[in-house]
Structure 1
Amino acid sequence: MCAEQDHYKPLAPPVGPEPVAMVPVVQLYARDVPDLVFPAGADLLQILWCPLVHEDGQYAANPRLHWRSAVVTAAGAVAGEPPRPHTAEGDYLPRPCTLSPTTAVEYPNWDLPEGLNALLGERFEALKEERGYDYFEVATTQQSKVGGYPAWTQQPDWPDCADCGTRMEHLLSVTATEPGMGRWLPLNDRDPRQDAAPSWRVEADPVALDTFGHDMCLGDLGGMYFFVCRRCPDTPYTHRYDC
């Protein structure tokens, strides 16, 4: 439950200032994401957030990240439906959906060093002329993901660990709704009638288009990016939001 008082949208009478139920956003088991490094004793990652805008400098949902043991969590589970928030911003209420993890190789986009960007400029132009797409359109996945580079909508904002001062590692991103076309469209979501289309122009199966993904906008197609420090023993985390 979120009992903080800095909600951007005040709770209207007769609801009053009661705590707001947080909503589950991501649940990952170690067995399903073998490349994700879990802290010792944990094999379950859960992210929940308060679905109201918080005035904490980022003006977004207020998330919490938990590393857990699946066995211990299951033993303490309570039967029945989880509580629903009595008031919420619709953009922060995910549609129930499952994950189908797919491995992808990506490259820095906004995080490309400035000097390297200038050095490769001519090659990028040639690539666009030859293939019909821009490097910055296809370098980094836009979907929600574990690892890789944040698909920043605005300028990169990498955090440093408050405890040891080192730059934190990108853990995962929860981004806007899944794209309906392009290179990063998962294979099992593509329209089978477009087998001959280039991967960067392929479109989704229209039957599935409105059913996959969490159906959240997160501002103007932005994202919530989570970072951890693995040097510190308690694996501290923080987040960034852009839109």
Structure 2
Amino acid sequence: MSRTTPPRPLDTTALFPQLAPLARTATRLHPRPGSPSVHDSSVGGPLLWPADEPWPHCDEPHEGHGANAGPSPANVRLLRRHRAAIEDRRRREPQGPWATREELATDDRLQADRPWPQGPVAMLPVAQLYARDVPQLRTLAPSEADLLQVLWCPFDHPANPRPLLFWRTAAEVVDILGAPPDPSVIQFSDYLPEPCLFAPEQVTEYPNFLELSKELQEQLGDWHRWRAAGSAVDSSYEAAPEEFYLNHLSVSPGWKVGGWSNWGLTDPMPRRCPGCDTEMDPLLTIASTEWDGGSESWAPIEDQAGDTPPLPQGNPPANFTRVVLAGGYGMQFHICPASPDHPYIELIQ
């Protein structure tokens, strides 16, 4: 499997030379449904976890404690299979019926009251990335580490799942944990990733408009400068050409490593290392969608050609992982360039 981002509509630095030194490389991960093993870079797949290392559990307070919890991971997976079957029947037989009695009974069962978990909650595997698949990780990882693993608690803390990052040297994991524990229930099915494999691809990014100098912001907001690109620029952006830059030329959407931070839920805020006060660098972005209505030009050529199974109804656009955070935003991890051993921070944007 491979995914190829279409060329950008125009050469950004030809119109705005001051952007050239701000270019950064990002690795778009392009997660797509698959059957990963512990030796694959993946979303929601099994982790290369040492058998003699305890599986992480969350023992912190969870927002919403006392209310009914969500379904078990096994029931979420079952419900997803049923819904995929229903959507397939809907496409093949528009007149229906689409749901079986078993599928309807499953819906009813998942609506029943479920008790809040007592005691620590087993964390869910979210992603793992091998540096052999994403070489950019070697510039971000601690010395000798070649594997990044992400887990999170499937309950709100206070409004999003609480993540944990682990760096490893894959060759040091000899005995692998065979059956990590699942939480008995999860708060939201959106916190359970669908197993996906990655198709990493490097692209060039430029900063979000709000992170640019005032001078560059003024240049990007001047429609007369954009007219030099001719038909490459959609004239519907004439009233706000900076939106063209934001949607098509700056920060790529979707899951990625490195690059520039995305902003939208808030204005840019300082990302200072809690350990040494150094400005932190983007490490990993976990996204609710691979692209949306404003960023469709980033959709890979293969997907535009129809080389992707149809998604179930009700998901955000291009939501292959089934992860949805804060109603459609993403979780961005930042690490300290002075020392990857310093604490990381995460932002929802």
- Could you say whether these structures have the same fold, taking a TM-score greater than 0.5 normalized by the shorter chain as the test? yes
C-alpha displacement at 1:112, in angstroms? 2.3
Q: Which residue of 2 is the match for residue 21 of structure 1?
A: 122
Cα distance in 1 for residues equivalent to 2:132 and 2:341: 22
Q: Which residue of 2 is the match for residue 200 of structure 1?
A: none
Q: Which residue of 1 is the match for residue 309 of structure 2?
A: 208
Q: Which residue of 2 is the match for residue 199 of structure 1?
A: none
1:65 and 2:165 aligned? yes
Q: Which residue of 1 is the match for residue 291 of structure 2?
A: 179
Cα distance in 1 for residues equivalent to 2:118 and 2:230: 54
Distance 1:157 1:129, change over 3 A: farther
Contact 1:11 1:87 in 2 (8 A): no
Q: 1:136 aligns with which of 233, 246, 255?
A: 246
Cα distance in 1 for residues equivalent to 2:299 and 2:181: 32
Misfit runs of 4+, over 6 Å: none
Cα distance in 2 for residues equivalent to 1:76 and 1:235: 28
Per-residue CA deviation, residues 138-168 of structure 1 (Å, 9 max, x unaligned), is 1211111001112222222341011111111
1:153 and 2:254 aligned? no
Q: Secondary structure of 2:171's match?
A: helix
Distance 1:85 1:43, change over 3 A: farther
Cα distance in 2 for residues equivalent to 1:100 and 1:130: 28
TM-score by length of 1: 0.81
TM-score by length of 2: 0.58
Q: Which residue of 2 is the match for residue 195 of structure 1?
A: none
Q: How does 1:82-161 map to 2 (within 5 A)?
A: 82-109=181-208, 110-122=210-222, 125-126=226-227, 130-132=232-234, 134-138=244-248, 139-154=250-265, 155-161=267-273
Letter in 1 for 2:346: H
C-alpha displacement at 1:130, in angstroms? 4.7
Distance 1:128 1:173, change over 3 A: farther
Q: Which residue of 1 is the match for residue 103 of structure 2?
A: none
Q: Which residue of 2 is the match for residue 3 of structure 1?
A: 59
Q: How does 1:41-52 map to 2 (within 5 A)?
A: 41-52=144-155
Letter in 1 for 2:131: A
* Stretch of structure 1 that moved more, 3-12 or 59-68: 3-12
Letter in 1 for 2:189: G
Q: Secondary structure of 1:227's match?
A: strand
Contact 2:274 2:342 in 1 (8 A): no
Cα distance in 1 for residues equivalent to 2:284 and 2:263: 12
Q: Give the CA RMSD over aligned residues.
A: 2.5
C-alpha displacement at 1:78, in angstroms? 1.7
Identify unmatched segments of 5+ residues in structure 1: 192-204
Contact 2:281 2:336 in 1 (8 A): yes
Q: Secondary structure of 1:47's match?
A: strand
Cα distance in 2 for residues equivalent to 1:41 and 1:17: 39
State percent identity of aligned pairs. Answer: 35
Contact 2:150 2:164 in 1 (8 A): yes
C-alpha displacement at 1:6, in angstroms? 3.4
* Stretch of structure 1 that moved more, 180-189 or 102-111: 180-189
Identify unmatched segments of 5+ residues in structure 2: 1-56, 69-113, 238-243, 313-318
Contact 1:22 1:85 in 2 (8 A): no
C-alpha displacement at 1:190, in angstroms? 2.3
Q: Secondary structure of 1:79's match?
A: coil
Contact 2:275 2:342 in 1 (8 A): no
Distance 1:108 1:81, change over 3 A: same
Letter in 2 for 1:83: D
Contact 2:154 2:192 in 1 (8 A): yes
Q: How many residues align?
A: 225
Q: 2:274 aligns with which of 148, 156, 162?
A: 162
Cα distance in 1 for residues equivalent to 2:232 and 2:299: 22
* Stretch of structure 1 that moved more, 40-49 or 6-15: 6-15
Contact 1:9 1:53 in 2 (8 A): no
